[in-house]
Amino acid sequence: MGRWAIAVHGGAGIDPNLPAERQEQAKQLLTRCLNLGIAALSSNVSAIDVVELVVRELETDPLFNSGRGSALTEKGTVEMEASIMDGTKRRCGAVSGITTVKNPISLARLVMDKSPHSYLAFSGAEDFARKQGVDIVDNEYFVTDDNVGMLKLAKEANSILFDYRIPPMGCAGAAATDSPIVMNGLPISIYAPETVGCVVVDKEGRCAAGTSTGGLMNKMMGRIGDSPLIGAGTYASELCGVSCTGEGEAIIRSTLARDVSAVMEYKGLGLQEAVDYVIKHRLDEGFAGLIAVSNKGEVVCGFNSNGMFRGCATEDGYMEVAMWE
């Protein structure tokens, strides 16, 4: 029997001036989700079940950018995406373009367990959801007043998010000139609310990972980011489980989540070394973060952005919830 470990994230890139009240709300939500996962793992629930359970909780709370509280498209609607992966046999499921499914992570799980495919999107995914009997709600359920206000600011700044770049510190260059309005430390023209994710290794050494998001604020209809892409935003193998967050296009180009597992397998690196390596060498000029667990019960968080909402816990009693370095 091994040792279990769990990590959760609520997105990379945090405004240093984020109000204390929101910081506290984020910490409370991450703590609640960790405790939910800890209780399940202590009762010998499998890694893949714990990942789904925790991400569902994150999707249900409107604080972060997934499920209710998702970022809005250019038309003011919500298009969500999610993926989940079981490292034992590298089974996976993913969905995109979800508009009425209350918990996209559970639909991704059903794609993995109940379909012959690994990825379903838009109307096909919605049709599958109805056949599976999942909870369906109106699109308005996912829309919050906060995000309506953010979208209004984005449109006033005439930002369409064709090119998504997160500056290392504050607002700089043309982006700041074109869009002086700042949201969460980023020019509104490139604002992306926080994605969520969870990684787990259970007592049997089985690793799993899941990621869920609403994507970019004011994104083009049909835009797909890294979160539903296996190997980019989410990956799990016999060695580790990884969930990423941050600049989606950079994560896609670097196949960031898969690369953690790859350098462990091919270079013989440990989990901490692998995470440090990919964050340093694979993101080029992009900014992102990730959480990871190994089959040995290790847990690591890494990022090159200005902070990352995160929490982790291990069977030996270690628990941490943090935002900054």
Q: Does residue 216 fall inside a structural domain?
A: yes
Give me the CATH number covering residue 217: 3.60.20.30
Structure tokens at 250: 């950079």
- 217's CB contacts (< 8 A; 6+ apart) are 71, 72, 147, 150, 151, 154, 161, 183, 188, 191, 192, 193
Residue for token pair 């350098």: 263
In the annotation, is 195 catalytic? yes
Can you give the residue range of the structural domain that contains 12? 5-140+191-322
Confidence of residue 70 (pLDDT cuts 50, 70, 90): very high
Q: Would the annotation count 31 as a binding residue?
A: no
Structure tokens at 184: 């969460």
Q: Does residue 69 fall inside a structural domain?
A: yes
Each residue of 9-30: pLDDT tens digit?
Answer: 999 988 777 888 889 999 999 9
The whole-angstrom separation of Cα 196 and Cα 58 is: 7
Q: Does residue 170 fall inside a structural domain?
A: no
Q: Is the pLDDT of residue 188 over 80?
A: no
Query: pLDDT exceeding 90 applies to what percent of the chain?
Result: 76
The whole-angstrom separation of Cα 10 and Cα 26 is: 8
- Which whole number is the average pLDDT over 104-113? 98
Q: Does residue 179 fall inside a structural domain?
A: no
Q: Is the pLDDT of residue 149 over 90?
A: no
* Number of domains making up the chain: 1
User: Exactly one of 73, 88, 99, 195 is catalytic; which is it?
Assistant: 195
Structure tokens at 324: 């900054």
Q: Is the pLDDT of residue 167 over 90?
A: no
**What is the per-residue pLDDT for 90?**
97
Q: Is the pLDDT of residue 172 over 80?
A: no
Confidence of residue 193 (pLDDT cuts 50, 70, 90): low
- How many CB atoms within 10 Å of residue 171? 18
> pTM of the prediction?
0.91
Q: Does residue 238 fall inside a structural domain?
A: yes
Q: Does residue 68 fall inside a structural domain?
A: yes
Q: Give the sign of the dihedral formed by CA 24, CA 30, CA 34, CA 35.
A: positive
Q: Does residue 108 fall inside a structural domain?
A: yes
**What is the per-residue pLDDT for 159?**
52
Three-class SS state of 211: strand
Structure tokens at 237: 């193998």
Q: Does residue 226 fall inside a structural domain?
A: yes
Question: Of 168, 228, 218, 211, nearest to 192 (Cα)?
Answer: 218
Q: Would the annotation count 248 as a binding residue?
A: yes
Structure tokens at 141: 């359920």
Q: Would the annotation count 225 as a binding residue?
A: yes
The whole-angstrom separation of Cα 205 and Cα 66 is: 28
Q: Would the annotation count 223 as a binding residue?
A: yes
Mean pLDDT score across all residues of the chain: 89
